[in-house]
Structure formats: C-alpha cells, structure tokens
Amino acid sequence: MISLLVGGSLHAAEVRESIDWQRSFLDQYCVACHNDVVREANFTLQSIALDQVGTHLEEVGTWEKVVLKLRAREMPPPGLPRPDAPTYDQLATWLETSLDTAAAASPNPGQPAIHRLNRAEYINAIRDLLDLEIDGREYLPADDSGYGFDNIANVLTLSPSLLERYMIASAKISQIAVGDPNLLPTAKSYEMRPTLIQEGRMSTEQPFGTRGGNSVSHYFPLDGEYRVKIRLARTHANQIIGLANSHDIDVRFDREKIAKYTIGGEGIINPWAAVMYASEYEQTADDGLELMLDIQAGTHSLAVAFPEKRGLPEGLLEPRLSSASYEFAGDRDMPMALGSIEISGPYNASKPKSTPSRDQLFLCEPVGTDAGDMACATEILSALARRAFRRPVTNDDLATLLNFYSSGRAEGGFERGVQRALRAVLVDPEFLFRIESDPRDITPATAFQLTDIELASRLSFFLWSSIPDDELLILAERGTLSEPAVLRAQVERMLADSRSGALVENFAGQWLYLRNLPGVAPDPDIFPEFDDNLREAFRTETEMFVDSQLRSDRNVLELLTADYTFLNERLARHYDISGVYGNHFRKVILESEQRGGLLGQGSILTATSYPNRTSPTLRGKWVLDNLLGTPPPPPPPDVPDLEDSDSISPRSVRDRLEAHRTNPVCASCHSRMDPFGLALEPFDAIGGLRSYDGGELIDAFASLPDGSSFDGPKGVRNYLLGNEERFVSTLTKKLLTYALGRGLENYDPPAVRKIVRAAADDDYSWSSLMMGIVESVPFQMRRSQEL
C-alpha cells in the first residue's frame, strides 16, 4: 500500500495517482451522507483534499473521527453497502500513516494549564516532603473530575474557600511536623460502619484467633498522655448488641496486649419492648472501656479485637438478615462488635526529641547565636524548598523564607521560626501548583522541549502522584535525566518502588470505577447477601489483580485473559469457589472461564448496575468507553427510564431493552452498547453468577450492527482480543490522559499510535506502555502560548 509523504519527493501526478483509490472508497461508501450539501454529523468528505491529510489542523479532528469509525466498523450505517475487512483496514492504515507523518513533521504537544496538586497528590507530597502521613479528608475536599480523572489541570481550580482550607492545613501540618508543644488536644474517632460484618480476623494487623474489631494507625504528634475510648456497636435504639452473653475484648498497642475487658452477661436486659424501654445497662455497659496511655510521638498502631469463641448455635437456623436492612440494625442478639475507637490528646505534652518528621526536617541543630542559627536555618530551608518547589532554590526564594523564619524566631525561638517558614512553603504557589514556563524569546505557538526539572515533576506525578525524590532531582539538576538510557533506568526504578502503587489507587481506581464502589447501594430485599465486607473485597480483588499485573510487567491483554484472581473467604463464597478460608486475600486459579480477567470481577459488574437490577446499557457503555475507546454520545433529553418488570408478568432485562432497539432514535447508540451488556447478563447486579432473569433462562447471545456476534462473558472477551489493538490503544489513551493531566486533543492520536506500535514489539508489556508515554512528544514537550 502506498503512503502519502508530506513534503516528500513525489510529483503531483504521482500523488494524484496514489490517492485515487482512497477517493473512490469515500465516494462509494461515505459521500452519500457526508457531502457538501447534506453534511451528516456536520462534516463533509466530498471536497476535502486527500493529498493534504493532516496538514490542516482544523481538519485533523475530522480525519481522526474517520479513523475511529473505520476501525470500529461503525460506518457506513447498517443496511448500506460496506467494504470488506481488508479494505476497511487499508484505508484506516493509510489515513493513520498520513496523519502520523504530518504530525512528525510539525509536532503539537499541546499547552497544559497550570496544574494544582489534587488531594491525593497533596497527601503524598506531604508524606514524601516531611515523612508525615496525614488524612487528607480532614484538610481538603474531594476534587472535581474531568475526562474520567481528578488530576485534570483545567478542572483543578482554586476558589477562595479552598485557598482558606490550604492555609488552615499548612498551619496544622507545620505544627505537627515540627512538634509544636503548644499544639492543642484534638480527638479523632475511627468509626466502624454498621454494615461491615465483624466475623473472623478482620485484617493482617489483627492477631490470629480473634474476630471483629479494628486496627488503626494513628500519628501521635507529641510526647504525652492520650485517652483511648472504645465504644461498642449499637442498634438503632442505642442498645449495645451482644450483651446477653459474656465477651472478652483485647486492646493492643504496637501489637502488644495492654488491656483486657470482659463485657456482657451480667446486667439487666429488658426482654420485652426493648426499643421503647432499653435498660441503662444496655446503653452504658461500655462506659468503662477507656484507657489513659503515656505515648511517645510518632506513628503507632492501636488494635481492638474479640478473642474468637468457636461453636455451633443450637436450635433452628434462621436466615441471615441483610446488613442494610432495618431489622439487622435493630438486632441486639447479634455477636458483640466494635463501634468506634476514639483517640484524644495530647495532655501534659512535651516536645518530642525525635520523630520521622523532625529527623527529616532538622538537618542541623541551632547553636544559640544569631549567625549560627541563621546558617542552620538556611541549610534547613534550602533543602526543604528544593524538595517542595521541585527545582533548585534561588536567593529570592531563600530571602522570603528566612524573613518568615526571623519573625517566628523572634516570637518563640529557632523551632518556631522553622515552623513559620514551613507553613509559608506549604501555601506557596510553587508547592501547590506545577508550573511550566515558556523559554524567553520563543516564537509563539512553537513546540519546545521541557527542561529536565520540569520532566522530573511530570515523571514523579505520573508514576507516584507525588514530588520527585532526591535521585530524580539530582539527575534533573545535572541535565542528564532526559538522556534516553538514564530516563529509561529511572522509569524502571520508579515502577519498582512501592510509591508506584499510586497508579493502582489513582489511575486504575478511576479507570475501573473502583472509586464508585462506596456509593453503590444494592437493594437489601433483592440482594440480602450484600454487605460492606463484600464491597471491600470487590475493591481489594481488583486492586491486587491490577497491582500483580503491573509489578510482574505482564502483557496488558492479560487484564482480559488472566485465569487467576485474588480472593478471601467472603468473596470466594460469593463467587461459589470452594477451598478458600479466612479474611486474608490470596491468589486463586479460576476454573470457570466466566470469571477470567476484569470482565468477571464483582467490582466492575456492581459499579455498572442499578440497585435492583443489572443494566446492559451501563455495562455496554463502560466497555465501549473504557475498553474500546468509542464512547457513545450523551443520551437525548427526556428519555424515559426502562420500564420495570412486575410480579404478574415478569420480563427479562433483554425483553425490556427491546424498546431501545426498535426506536430509531435510540437504536443508533443502543445497538452498539447493549449487546456487550446483554452478553454479561449471566452476572447479576452484584457480580454473582445466575442462569435466570425474570423467570426466563438468560440468553447471553448478542450481535453488533457490523454483523459480529458473541455469546456470554467469554464471547465478549474473545471479541476484545480480536480487537486487541483497539483495547491497547484505549488503555494507552487513558494512561496518557492521566499522565498529562489533560484531555486528549485531535493532535494527540499520532502519539498514541506510536506508543502502541512500539509496545507491540515488547508483547504489550506494562513497562513498554509506560516508557512509550514518558518518551512521547506530548509528555516531553509543550507548545508556547499564542499571541
């Protein structure tokens, strides 16, 4: 096949001859709708110049849409003449080659906006800057999202109220990091959700042989006394549950048992009208579960658990109540459970001699003289500002910070001065924003290479959602980071680092809808087995699965084909898989082909369902958008909801969706979405396998407008594997959007195709995709501002 060479040596006649077959293709299959008169979808292919594909920026978007339609076999519409598959691919390849050649000749990396750190990045930056773990939810609100992610620069605005939150956070964090003895006592409560069933060992932090309870990691800012208050779970009538029998409660500090209590089986419990006349004992039996501990500053673990008593209940077995039901919340006869752990303090506090934050912050000790203390403060603030601002520190930077230091020192001594300067650093725009500047005297609208300092920040926030470490900054300051061998070695190092877990939490968590799980609320009457244990297990399964793929550097297609997953007993029981015991997760080989890969995981299946039923439309839309990269347009206004079934004449979801396929207005999109969701109907709304829906045997066969068909989850998986380049391209687009912090524009697809083609030579490994993104034009370059 002949490629169009932009600016090459082909003569005009040869160029004309090379595009004759392309023009014939368009005239035969496309121009009937996309002509200068009709202009279907508001564009024409009749008069557009084929010998200049990719050279006119305003037409690039049109051609990229044509490529997507050709690859997805979405045009011409069903019922009209269509070319065969090789001809489809021939034109798509020719267009891609032409667009890529033009893009290489005139690169356009885009103009990313100034990028405010989102909440996750702020938390991680504080962790890496000060060796201090904070709960960002206490300081900052959740961020808005765009293009599927919450790190998109033009969405991350800074309102006056948010600026105030940053200022409050900087004051509190600087106090905690320095260990300010004037820090006022505070209280933090670690609540247990009532829909979390406290059975068995709750986590790896809990001792073996225990059930229920919780283990928390808490930062104690000063040496001093702290009060620990344990509150037991209650019914909606404020009755402590499980008081009819005696229960032991163990309290551990840093894994050592420090207290043991026995509660229950001895007070007055009203047998009748309990809701109206709960006894005092039922409401106050846990009043004495309180400790006063003398604790040194730093992060410590505190655990509360119930020693497990094994046995089988006597009498008739009763059906288990849904944890989300009113009856469950009012059942005082359930086993005793933890309600909350409250930690308050410090009291009688003193400044700590050493904490991880102080050790990282105070690189030297004051000597008691003005000159000596100023020299030490200069050393401390130089190192602090270099890490916080992600660049070498200037004299102006230091002068500003030393002014803050001097005013603080005059009030309260050396450490108060450092604390005040630290507070200024944490609200400085150079810390809160990722700022990239145009070179001086550069021509407007010109592509240029990022500096190594700017590249270091892009790299660390992509792979770690945090600031660069010393090794990365040193290479950037030397100007060697951008050297290909050095850059590749750094990417490999950073992916192997535990901080790359941010890719799972922040990228996969949003791409795969894991962040939606806390908000799903399956109907307790229809799905009484759903509880928070299952909700957490869904999230853990997918996070561990993606993490294992990433750290083993597997072929990304194994996201679809893997014959293993990670299960604990609760999730294995839900999946009807035997031989898995305990609450800890472990790798399990799957025997059923239904469960393989992401398509069989309860997290995604639940997040793409309604509370009372499955939604083939939501599931199909998720497949189109997140796996195939061809999201449907938003639905037209005033579209009625899908008619519910009834008990007299129950109908399957497939039957009720028939309205979408028979309505021409709906069919244009639903004919592409619904088939993928219908093929996933063997999974119910919380990811359980089933054979019937609405009393009818589930028919999981589905077909697309282009004539391709598939049957069941395995069929969808095989369809995706048959379109592996589309899947890898979609994953690459999602990763590139996340890496750049902006939505992809019409000029970005050539970079995506280059990354995918290079990754194909390395078996589509995760590292090849990551490296391709880091080496790409939009990641390493930017475009100067236009006049």
Q: Please report which confidence band the pLDDT of residue 325 belongs to, taking 50, 70 and 90 as the band edges.
A: low
What pLDDT score does 641 carry?
61
Q: How high is the pLDDT of residue 2?
A: 31
**Average pLDDT of the segment spanning 312-340:** 74
Give yes or no for a contact between 615 and 609, defined as CB atoms under 8 angstroms apart.
yes
The per-residue pLDDT for range 669-696, each reduced to its tens digit, is: 888 899 999 999 999 999 999 998 877 8
Taking alpha carbons only, the member of 575, 581, 634, 579 closest to residue 600 is 575
> Among 39-43, 46-50, 225-229, 320-324, where is mean pLDDT lowest?
320-324
Residue 660's pLDDT is 65
- In this predicted structure, what is the pLDDT of residue 707? 86
In whole angstroms, give the CA distance from residue 306 to residue 249.
Answer: 5
Burial category of 205 from C-beta neighbours within 10 Å (exposed 0-12, middle 13-18, buried 19 and up):
middle
- The arithmetic mean of pLDDT across residues 422-437, rounded, is 97
Beta bridge partners of 302: 216, 253
Q: How confident is the model at residue 315 (pLDDT cuts 50, 70, 90)?
A: low
- Residues 6+ away with beta carbon under 8 Å from 678: 616, 620, 653, 654, 657, 699, 700, 702
Residue 77 has pLDDT above 50, yes or no: yes
The answer, yes or no, to whether residue 589 has pLDDT greater than 60, is yes
Rounded distance, CA 680 to CA 67, Å? 28
| pLDDT at residue 264, rounded to an integer | 92
What does the buried/exposed string (b/e) look like for 236-265 if buried means 16 or more CB atoms within 10 Å of the residue's CB?
eeebbbbbeeebbbbbbbeeeeebeeebbe
Which is more confidently placed, 317 or 266?
266
How far apart are alpha carbons 451 and 437 in whole angstroms?
A: 10
Contacts of 428 (CB under 8 A, 6+ apart): 388, 389
Q: How far apart are CA 586 and CA 588, in angstroms?
A: 6
At residue 302, the pLDDT reads 97
Q: What are phi and psi of 764, to 5 degrees?
A: 50, 40
Average pLDDT over residues 589-617: 95
List the one residue out of 571, 579, 504, 577 whose CA is nearest residue 536.
Answer: 571
Tell me: pLDDT of 656 over 80: no
The answer to which of 233-242, 315-324, 594-603, 700-709 has the lowest mean pLDDT is: 315-324
- pLDDT for the residue 317: 64
Q: Which range has the worst mean pLDDT, 2-6, 16-20, 219-223?
A: 2-6
- Cα–Cα distances (Å) from 630 to 57, 65, 113, in that order, read 22, 10, 26
Structure tokens given for 53 = 């594909």
Residue 640 pLDDT class (50, 70, 90 cuts): low
pLDDT at res. 644 = 55
pLDDT tens for 132-177 read 999 999 999 999 999 999 999 999 999 999 999 999 999 999 999 9
Task: Kindly tell me if the per-residue pLDDT of 351 is higher than 90.
Answer: yes
pLDDT at 112: 87
Q: What is the pLDDT of residue 648?
A: 44
Question: Which tokens belong to 46?
Answer: 């009749």
Average pLDDT, the chain: 90
Q: In what helix (H) or strand (E) does residue 659 lie, and over which residues does it extend?
A: helix 653-662
**CA–CA separation, 16 vs 10, rounded Å?**
10
Taking 3-state DSSP, the helix, strand and coil percentages for the chain, each rounded to the nearest 5, stand at 45, 15, 40
pLDDT band at residue 649 under the 50/70/90 scheme: very low
Q: Where are the beta strands (DSSP E) in 414-515?
A: 433-434, 447-449
Evaluate whether 476 touches 455 at the Cβ level (below 8 Å): yes
- Give the C-alpha distances (Å, rounded to integers) separating 307 from 11, 206, 361, 575: 86, 11, 42, 29
Q: How high is the pLDDT of residue 657? A: 75
Q: Supply 589's token pair.
A: 């080989």
- For 355, the token pair is 């904490």
Rg (CA), the chain: 31
**pLDDT value of position 638:** 66
* pLDDT value at 723 more than 50: yes
* Residue-level pLDDT at 276: 64
pLDDT tops 60 at residue 496: yes
Of the ranges 471-480, 666-675, 704-713, which one carries the lowest mean pLDDT score?
Answer: 666-675
Q: What are phi and psi of 625, to 5 degrees?
A: -80, -50
pLDDT of residue 193: 92
The proportion of the chain whose per-residue pLDDT surpasses 90, expressed as a percent, equals: 72
27-53 pLDDT, tens digit each? 888 888 888 888 887 778 888 888 888
Residue 646 — pLDDT band, cuts 50, 70, 90? very low
- Ordered strands of the 338-350 beta sheet: 186-191, 338-350, 223-232, 290-295
Measure Cα distances from 627 to 93, 685, 774 in Å: 21, 20, 22
pLDDT digits (tens, 9 = 90+) for 360-396: 999 999 999 999 999 999 999 999 999 999 999 999 9
Looking at residues 102-129, what average pLDDT do you find?
Answer: 95
Helix (H, G, I), strand (E, B) or coil at 648: coil
What pLDDT, on a 0 to 100 scale, did the predictor assign at position 15?
Answer: 42
For the entire predicted model, the pTM comes to: 0.93
Of the listed ranges 323-332, 622-631, 690-699, 768-777, the least confidently predicted one is 323-332
Query: What per-residue string of b and e applies to 150-182 under the rule 16 or more CB within 10 Å gives b?
Result: bbbbebbeeeeeeeeebeebbbbbbbbbbbbbe
Q: Above 70 in pLDDT, residue 19?
A: yes
Confidence class for position 9, pLDDT limits 50, 70, 90:
very low
Read off the pLDDT of each residue in 449-464 and give the average, rounded to a whole number: 98
Q: What is the pLDDT of residue 312?
A: 63
pLDDT of residue 506: 98
365 or 640, higher pLDDT: 365
Q: What stretches of 137-195 adopt beta strand conformation (E)?
A: 186-191
**Nearest partner of 64 among 109, 105, 95, 101, judged by Cα:** 95
Question: Is residue 304 over pLDDT 60?
Answer: yes
Question: What's the CA gap between 702 and 195, in Å, rounded?
Answer: 37
Contacts of 679 (CB under 8 A, 6+ apart): 700, 701, 702, 710, 711, 712, 713, 715, 716
pLDDT at 374: 97
**How many other CB atoms are found less than 10 A from the CB of residue 682?**
18
pLDDT of residue 141: 96
In this prediction, residues 292-313 reach a mean pLDDT of: 90
- Phi, psi dihedrals of residue 434, rounded to the nearest 5°: -95, 110
Residue in 635, 535, 594 with CA at minimum distance from that of residue 718: 594
Closest residue by Cα to residue 155 from 737, 543, 587: 737
Q: Which amino acid is at 297?
A: A
Name the β-bridge partners of 598.
none
